[in-house]
Structure 1
């Protein structure tokens, strides 16, 4: 889904990109991108370590250290979820970390298949890395830790081994993404004039696209999926609802994209005010799983939040983009 969003949000030059030549790409890489991937690598390493020592075959979901590490690592992923380009796209690492949305229910099916067959891939990281992405990453781990389907006593020992395999795989992918940024990709972006980024304008467009797409994903997918339609709301489609992280992801993503926006927009007061408004509305929801979309009044509050995020997107498109010599093109997800 995220890849489709990236493809659908077309970016093109509206004028000679003189502004992009002054765009401080190096500062963004060094203060926003790399530190956040360092956080992800560190937190996922801690998660794998907790799973290896704290996963009890009797009750893996009751180890407090494991659950705390799960939340910290998932937080770190959401903080880089908008930066899905470069090393995170290589070898489908981002999809292996975060296979969602999952409209066909592939994750529980894939996990159930592993459990039923007692697939030995859990004992070999290289083999586990070749299984379906639906059975890997944070959303698979959420099922294993929080869904009753995978809490059968007869499956406890294998479930624990599967949790350990998933967390090791998560940590390995996070480390690989960070290494990619530190060992070449960051330099390619910071010093355009190469086959990846021929000009500063191309690097600037990549970052602007990531920012715009991250906000679009929060509005149309994180909020839009559980909202469904007025006559048929879909609260069970909320992201990470089993671990009560749905609203948390909205807030974390807004904080991360706000940071990137500040680095890009150089203190644009309108967009800063719009972010503050959206974050205030999200915090006021007090609805961890967005279950309120099933109620007319609750749905209205989520709609208002969605609209406030779309205000940010509009300011980026109409004010900040043109200042950089970048304009948003046709976006089929908007129905234009």
Structure 2
């Protein structure tokens, strides 16, 4: 990404168009076509920047709470820490579908949360670190250079949910490690937030496509990036967060494959998932455009998002219990159906309505 910086000035020297948010379509002949530039601008200002801002704020709050708890020997498993962790996890899930831009630099995406982890690398590497009392993980600067499996929310959740430490020395080490993780999260999330500012390189390139732009030749390509994030986000939600842990039947459920199952925050994360993807659909201006040309499609999509949120509110047990509960299993299966239906409609009818061909996305080949 750094190679494009020298081109920024020349791109803006030609004069950039000031795009107003909220404009869904532009006139073309007797009809209208999507205003791709407006969609991109609205996505950045109304969805991406606020979401990363929330994550940076939540991470800072967690770091402060963790430091205070460790100073008073409360440890890393207090209700206050668990609540603050849930806030950060939900904030992360709200930007998890944004796999392009500054979060790709320096493995930031994976360092925030290394999940899924099918080879159980976090558990294996963390066990070794705790046995050796590896001092390089109790400092945020040195931790940032370690394996991505030892950083971020996945590692922190394991620390928070381990059996109690056998002695004070081990408890102190765990606390210092947890503090380093939270400090590292603050650094990463704050950096990503800063790099999405209007005067930074990537947002400028995204908003000013052209023949000299190394990433986007026109506004349609930039809008395609947005649409791929929506579709891939729904695919990730369906395949990794619902199908994998729920299994085909109740008997085949593997609920411990769910994201954040250890801390009991899976359902909160799922709620944030559906909420943020619906927000992307609406605040980008895509919904407004679709409603103007195919009101039925827009209504179907909005109804599915809303039904998912209502269904989640009706699940009163933790995910690991609900997945194998005969009474609640129909609701879990309905969530899976809604996620799949949203993904198929978004990658099919919705993309076609926008005049976009999605092709491959960030999940293909995983």
Q: TM-score, normalised by structure 1?
A: 0.87
Deviation at 1:120, TM superposition (A): 1.3
| Inter-CA distance 152–199: structure 2 relative to 1 (3 Å threshold) | farther
CA contact (8 A) 1:254 1:275 kept: yes
Does the alignment pair 1:152 with 2:166?
Answer: yes
* Counterpart for residue 105 of structure 1: 120
Distance, in Å, in 1 between the alignment partners of 2:144 and 2:71 is 23
The match for 2:111 among 85, 96, 100 is 96
Higher RCO by CA contacts (8 Å cutoff, separation 6 or greater): 1
SS in 2 for 1:28: helix
CA drift at 1:276: 1.2
Which has the larger displacement, 31-40 or 275-284?
A: 275-284
Q: Which residue of 2 aligns with 1:3?
A: none
The CA deviation at 1:202 is 1.1
1:207-263 deviation digits (Å, cap 9, x = unpaired): 111111111111111111211343422122121112111111111010000010112
Pairing 1:257–2:271 present: no
CA contact (8 A) 2:139 2:177 kept: no
Rounded Cα–Cα distance in structure 1 between residues aligned with 2:79 and 2:321: 26
Unmatched tracts of structure 2, length 5 or more: 1-31, 292-297
The answer to whether residue 267 in structure 2 is matched with residue 247 in structure 1 is yes
Secondary structure of 2:253 counterpart: coil
> In the alignment, which residue of structure 1 is the partner of 2:15?
none
Q: Does 1:217 align with 2:232?
A: no
TM-score (norm 2): 0.80
1:272 aligns with 2:287: no
Count the aligned residue pairs: 318
RMSD: 2.5
Mapping for residues 103-142 of structure 1, pairs under 5 Å: 103-142=118-157
Relative to its length, the structure with more helix (as a share) is 1
Quick check: 1:123–1:165 contact (8 Å CA) kept in 2?
yes
Measure the CA separation in 2 of the matches of 1:291 and 1:260: 31
Structure 1 stretch displaced more, 128-137 or 19-28: 19-28
**Aligned to 1:314, which of 344, 348, 364?**
344
Contact kept? 1:121, 1:127, Cα under 8 Å: yes
Query: C-alpha displacement at 1:56, in angstroms?
Result: 4.6
The answer for unaligned runs of 5 or more in structure 1 is: 1-16
Q: CA deviation at 1:64?
A: 4.5
* 2:247 is equivalent to residue 228 of structure 1: yes
Is the deviation greater in 58-67 or in 35-44?
A: 58-67
> What corresponds to 1:8 in structure 2?
none
- In structure 2, distance between residues paired with 1:21 and 1:125: 40
Query: Conserved in 2, the CA contact under 8 Å of 1:189 and 1:197?
Result: yes
Instruction: Indicate yes or no: 2:224 matched with 1:202.
Output: no
1:20 CA drift (Å): 5.2
Q: Against the structure 1 CA distance between its residues 290 and 216, is the aligned structure 2 distance closer, same or farther, given a 3 Å change threshold? A: farther
